[in-house]
Structure 1
Amino acid sequence: MLHFFISFVIFAQVFHIFGSVPVSQQTQVSPIQADGYVRTPGIGSHKIHKQATTWNRARIICKEEGGYLAVINSRPELQAILNLYGSSKPHNGSTDSNHILLGFHDLFEEGHFVTVHDEPLTETGFNEWYDTEPNNAFGNEDCGALVFHGKLNDISCDKPFAFACEIPEVNEASSDSFSHNIHSINIRRIIEPQTMSPSFLTTFFLVIAKIFIIDASLIFPPQRTQEIRSDYRYTPGIGGHKIHDNVAKWRDAQTICEEEGGNLAIINSADEADVIRRLFRESPYHQGSTHSGYALIGFFRNTEGDNFLTIHGEPLENTGYFRWQPTEPNNLYGDEKCGSIGRDGLLNDISCEKKFGFVCELIDPNIPSVSLSNVA
C-alpha cells in the first residue's frame, strides 16, 4: 500500500511539472504604465523630471516609479532621451539646465564609473564624454549627467539637476540581467519571473497525498539554492562569514564577495557583530592593509553625505546594528565614503580607495543549522 501512495505522489509531482500551463499562456502581462513616460519600441520608456533634485534623491524617485535613473545603452536610446530633453526646459531649481542626471557614478573608486546596476560604464554601449571630461572638478564630481548636445559629464552629486528615469521593455525587465543591485541598490522587477501555475488535477493529487500523511518533501527533498562553502564560518540563524586577509579596495572587495556567491557583510545584530569579532581574532594581520584593525563591510555614505546605505540601498540605521566607534563617523579629510568594522565590533567610515581586509557574507534560508565546531 505504501508503494502505491509513493507512486501516487511521484505522479502528482511529474504532472505538476509537465501538466501545468505557463502563466505567460494564461494571461497577457503588460508593463507598468507610469505618468509622463514616453515609450520607444525596442528600447524602453523614459521621462525627464523637470523639478531638479540631487542624484541620490533622483535615484529614489525613479525607483519609486518602477524604474531607475536612466542608463544609455545605444545611440537610438540616446536620441530618444535627447528628444525629450529638448522639450523639457526650463528645469525648476536646476544648477544648470544644460545637464540632466543619469544613472552612473564613481562614488566607490575615483575614475571607475559604474551604473546603478553596478555595471562598468564602458560596457553599457554608450560611453562618449564631453571634451576634457570627466575631470572631477574641485574633487567633488562623482555622479553622472548628460549634456544637452549628447555627451556625458561628471558633476556634483549634491547639486540639484533635472533627471531622466527609465522603465525598460517587458522582455528586458523579465530577464535575469535585470535583477541587478546597485552598489548594489535593489531595483524592483517590473514583471515578476514567469512561474508554472498548478492545474486542478495537480492540486487534487497533492491534497490526496497529504490526506494519507505522505510528505512529498521526504521523497523530493528541496534543492539548496547555494552551495555550502568550506571556507566560510556558518552560524545558525545568522549566516556564513569569511574574513579575507588578501586586501582590496571597497568596490573590488564587493566584486570578490559576489564571485563567492555573497556580498560584503551587512551586520544585522550584536550577535552577528560578535561573530565577526571572533573571526577577527583568528585573522590578526592583513598584509598590505592600510590598517589591520579594520575590515571592509557592506555600507557606504550616500551622495548627500548625511546618511549611510547598505549595498542593498537600505538605510544603515534600519539594519538592526548601528553602533559606531567613539567620534565616528567623521569623514576624515572628506574622503571616508565607505564602511568598515573594527576588531572591537564597532563601525567606522573609511576611504573607499584604500586597501583593507574585508568580510564577505553568505545568507541562504537553506543553510543547515550546524554548530561552529562542525564547520571548517
Structure 2
Amino acid sequence: MLQIIHFVSLTYLLIASDVVQCKPDYLFNEDAGGWLKLHVIPATWEEAFLRCHYEGAVLASPVSKELAKAIYTLISPLDSEDRIFLGTHDLYSKGHFTSVEGVPLSDLETGEGSIRPGFPNGDCLTMSVRGSANMYTSSCQDPLPFVCYRKLDNQTLNECGTFDNEYQHQRYTGSCYKVHKKVQTWTRAYGICASEGGHLVILNDAEEARVVMDMFPGQPVGETWDRFHVGLRAWTEDRVWTTINGERFEDVFNKWNDDQPNNLGNNQDRATFVREGALDDVDADFKAMFVCEKSPTSLQYEDVPNQVQENLLDHIPAWNNLNQN
C-alpha cells in the first residue's frame, strides 16, 4: 500500500510541475546489486571520496566479481591509458590497504598479488581502464576519474526523489529542502548541494523567503547560525547580482538587510539570507549554514522494479552476505 502511495505521489508531482524529469545519474546494475556512476572530471582521492559520500554512495572498489565487471564496463569509454581511483587506501595505517567499506585488500576481487607499484609510497589504489585486473599504488593528490557505487538495500526513494529523508517537500513552493547546520563556505555549500542532486536555495519570491525563514533553528547561536547561504552571486566590478541559475536579481526575492549590500573589504560577492528575512553580502571565505533545494522530479538514481529488488534481497544469498559486511 505504501509503495502505491509513493508511486502516485511521485506521478502527481511530475504531472503537476511543468518540469521534464531528468535522466538519473546513477544507473542500476542488477549483477552488481546496486547503482554506479562514472565521474569523468578528475578529482583528488579525498575529493572523490567526499563526492560519492554526499551523493549517498561510496567510492567504488572491486569487492565482488560482479562489481569489478560492472566497473570495467562503465569505464571502458575512457582513454585506454587512463586510470581511475578506487575506494581502497592505506591512509589509516601504512601498508594496510582497505576499501572505504572496510574490506581488506586480500578480500577484494583482484587480491594482493595484483598490486603494482605506480607511485613510490602511494597511499591510494587505482585501476587501469585497459581491463587489467591489476591495481596500482598512486598519489592521492593527482586528480583522476572515479566511480561511485551504492548497493541496493530496503530503502526506497521518497517523495523528493532521493534516499535522503532530510529533504522535506514543501507544498507551498513545490520544492524539497534540506537544512545543513554544519557551517561551510559558500563554494563548499554549493558543491554539497550539487552532489546531493539539488542546488543552493534560490528565493524566488517573498512566499519562498517566508518558508525558508521557518527553517532557522529555534535559538540563534552566533553569527553563522543567524543566516543561510543562498544561490546568489555578484559578477565583475559592476556587482551584477544573478541567481546561480542565471535569473536576474530583479526577478527574484531581492530585499536587502539594512545598509546592505556594503561590499565590505571589496570582496563580498556572495549572498546570505539572515534570520530577519533579508539578504546580506559576504565574502567567499565566510562560513554559514545553508539550505539545499531540490526538485522532486530530479532523480539521481534509476528506479528499480519491485520484483528485481525483492529477488536481489531475498534470493541471492551471496549478494546478501556481501551487503552484511
> Which TM bucket (shorter chain)?
0.3 to 0.5
Q: Radius of gyration: which is bigger?
A: 1
Q: Tell me the TM-score normalized by structure 2.
A: 0.40
**What is the TM-score with the length of structure 1 in the denominator?**
0.35
Structure with the higher fraction of residues in strand conformation: 2
Higher RCO structure, 1 or 2 (CA under 8 Å, sep 6+): 2
